[in-house]
Amino acid sequence: MPEYSDIRIITGNLKGLFIVAAGLMAAMALISLALGEPEDTPGFMAGLAISLAIVIAIQITTPQAPAVELKHAIIVAALAYIFIPAISAVPYLLNAGMTPLDSFFEAISGWTGSGFSMIPSPVDVSRSTQLWRSVTQWIGGAGVILLMVTILIRPGTSTYVLYQSETRKEKIKPSIRSTIRTIWRLYLLLTVLSVLLLYIAGLQAWDALNTAMTGISTGGFSLYGNSIAHYDSLAVELSLLPIMIAGALPFAVMYMAFRRHLSALIYDVQVRAFMAVIVAGCAILAVQNYFFNYGNIFSALKFSVFQFISAVTCTGFQTADLSGWSPTALLILSIAMVLGGCAGSTAGGIKIARGIFLVNQVRLWLIKTLMSRKAVIVMKLGRHKVVEQAMTEELNEATLISFLWIVTIVVSVMLLSNILGAGVDLSRIIFEVCSAQGNVGISSGILTPAVSPVAKAIFMVDMWMGRLEIVPVILIARAILKGFG
């Protein structure tokens, strides 16, 4: 069991997150009044009261949080994706009339940026509830970037090596506080630009605001049950492509691009690999859909490009009904959702950075079979060369995370195949699990409000573990069983 001192450190550092939750609830209560929806105000006030009660309780028991170590910070981040969604579920429960389970599902889907929804027709709920869904994804997206830049990008990880090689061992700013401010400014700028782009493309201001917030955060919540297909607008779809891609690019590199010149994006190894995946994936999926789903080159390109970019950026917007797509097309999207976007972005998935290291690990193995075991092998990452021995730990980390991802997907598929029954095609179950664990939200039609509570619980665990990249969940289990020693 964890020691009391460890518990004090964790609870003390969770206090700040509950204060943020209280601030969001207070702001939403005022916004509900401004929108002329006073009937929604009590729901947000209830969330505010719960948040403040927890803050007061922590303040009494832990007036000053002890210094936090990396192991504590990772567990705080993991617990935050449980406790904050639990509080965020209160407005859904009281304002939208949802069940407790569906309310928690909606909240955890929002905060993890997954995009699955238990609201069949979001346009029918109040504007306050619509905005609350968008806010959870927008704030959650920024939180993921901060988590990556300040905690998860650390020595011994593949993302750290790429971060060092491409930023020349400089952080965005010299301190965490200034880093946070800079990320928020860049994130806000990208959001404003996204709103303007969608408004110019023809969306009403309210739709442009909410879609931009869930687009740049690669969250995928939509105001409509059939997602972006509702607009039936090529201009809107084309406008969303750069928005989704921007959300899946590493913010450290984007900051350098804004600060200096575009060469930072052009030469970044992750960005180049990511764009190559997009081009290749869109082409392969378009060919597949042309021959097996549409038979029309324009339709095949239109739907394939949008769905693949939505999948690989882990956004989850949809323009096509995937229930009629071939198993091979679903498999292509599943691979894209598992791979995901760049490290240091709002996207989910295993991350392009780890994919780069896995590919290089295969190259190393092939080279070693042809060369002397004593040979010094140098790998090239972008414009920088790294000796193999200096990257062993990073290669192991990439392999471990990928292995844990595969194991989690297999276990989830096995459980869900038994729960959902033989009538549900296995390829669709695999697709839905990859979408949940990749924090995407694209659905083949399985995950609806009518699905069993046990299945919903499994999908929630997948979303939670996927957002945390699994390892923090293992740390929590170990801390409960054996403590932090």
pLDDT at 176 over 70: no
pLDDT at 143 over 90: no
Is-contact 118 102, C-beta < 8 A? yes
pLDDT band at 310 (very low <50, low <70, confident <90, very high): very high
In the chain, % of residues over pLDDT 90: 60
Q: Where are the beta strands (DSSP E) in 55-136?
A: none
Domain boundaries, the chain: 99-485
- Within 8 A by CB and 6+ apart from 188, the residues are none
Output the pLDDT for position 374.
61
pTM, rounded to two decimals? 0.90
pLDDT at 135 over 60: yes
150-162 mean pLDDT: 46
Stronger pLDDT, 141 or 376, i.e. the higher one? 141
Q: What is the pLDDT of residues 96-105, one digit of tens each?
A: 999 999 999 9
Output the pLDDT for position 286.
97
pLDDT at 253 over 70: yes
Which residue is associated with the tokens 């880093």?
179
Q: What is the mean pLDDT of the chain?
A: 86
3-state DSSP call for residue 384?
strand
Q: What is the pLDDT of residues 36-68, one digit of tens each?
A: 999 999 999 999 999 999 999 998 887 776 666
Q: Where are the beta strands (DSSP E) in 222-320?
A: none
Q: Tokens standing for 255?
A: 């900051």
Is-contact 462 408, C-beta < 8 A? yes
20-29, 372-381, 387-396: lowest mean pLDDT where? 372-381
Q: Phi-psi region for residue 332, left (φ > 0), alpha (ψ -120 to 50) or beta?
A: alpha
